[in-house]
Amino acid sequence: MARLTEDNVRLAKEIIGRYPRPRSATIPLLHLAQQQDGYVTNDAMVHIGELVGATSAEVYGTASFYEMFKFEPVGKYLVNICGTMSCALMGSEELMHHAEHKLGVKAGGTTSDGMFTLEHAECQAACTEAPCLQVNYRYRFRVTPESFDSLIDDLSAGRLTAEIPDHGTVAKVRQHIPADRGVGAVPPESVTEAPAWLDGKAAL
C-alpha cells in the first residue's frame, strides 16, 4: 500500500489551494490516490487526512459513501453492468450471465490476468439505451452478447486504450491552475460583502 508520491503531493497541494478549506479537497484527492494505485489504499487515506486536516476515519467515511472508490485492487478495466428496471426488462440479467461466461468469473470477481473486474451496478441514468454498461465509467449502450464479446476482445487487444484509460483515471488531461490565476476562494468567515451578482432580487 502506498502514500501519495512526491509528484502527487505537489499536485494535491495545488488542488487544496483551490478551496476555501482544505477538507473541501478530500474527494479530488481520493480520485488522485485511486489514479495512482488503481484503488484507494489505507496509507493513502491516512496521507490525505494529514494533508487536509482530517482523520483517516473521516476520509474513509467520505470515500465509502461513493461507489466509484474501491478499497481493494480491481482489474485494469472495471465492467459495471446495469441491473435496474429498464435494463432488466431489456435483458441485462442474460447479459450478465453471458459476461460471466465470457470472462470466466462471477459478478464481483476479477480475471486471473488482472484485466477485468465484473460488477453489478445500479441505474446508470441511460434508461432509453438499455441494456447499458460502463467500462471504467465510460458508457456502452444497447449492449448485446455479440457487442459485449467484441468490446472485451478489443480491450484485451489494446485497441481502445485511447478511448478507455486504465481504472482510476478520471481524465487524461489534468487542469493546472497557477496560484495567481485561482478564483480567489477565501474562508466563508472572511467574506465581508455580498457577491457582485447578488442584488437581493429573485431570479427571473
Q: What is the residue extent of each domain of the chain?
A: 6-71, 77-156
Each residue of 47-81: pLDDT tens digit? 999 999 999 999 999 999 998 999 999 999 999 99
Q: What is the DSSP string of 6-64?
A: HHHHHHHHHHHTTSSSGGGGHHHHHHHHHHHHSS--HHHHHHHHHHHT--HHHHHHHHT
Number of neighbouring beta carbons within 10 Å of residue 17: 13
3-state class (DSSP) for residue 110: strand
For the chain, what is the mean pLDDT?
A: 89
Which pLDDT belongs to residue 92?
A: 96
Residue 36 Cα distances to 62, 91, 124, 177, angstroms: 19, 36, 25, 20
Which pLDDT belongs to residue 204?
A: 46
Which pLDDT belongs to residue 8?
A: 94
CATH number of 77-156: 3.40.30.10
Residue 39's pLDDT band (cuts 50, 70, 90): very high
Give the least confident one: 2-6, 60-64, 81-85, 178-182. Answer: 178-182
Q: Residues 120, 88: contact at Cβ < 8 Å?
A: no
For residues 105-118, give the mean pLDDT.
96
Which pLDDT belongs to residue 37?
A: 93
Which residues touch 27 (CB under 8 Å, ≥6 apart)? 62, 66
**Topology at the third CATH level for domain 6-71:** Arc Repressor Mutant, subunit A (1.10.10)
Each residue of 148-173: pLDDT tens digit? 999 999 999 999 999 999 988 877 76
Is 194's pLDDT higher than 90?
no
Each residue of 131-150: pLDDT tens digit? 999 999 999 999 999 999 99
Residue 196's pLDDT band (cuts 50, 70, 90): low
Which residues touch 17 (CB under 8 Å, ≥6 apart)? 179, 182
- Within the chain, what is the greatest distance between any pair of CA atoms? 62
State how far the Cα of 65 lies from the Cα of 101, in Å rounded to an integer. 31
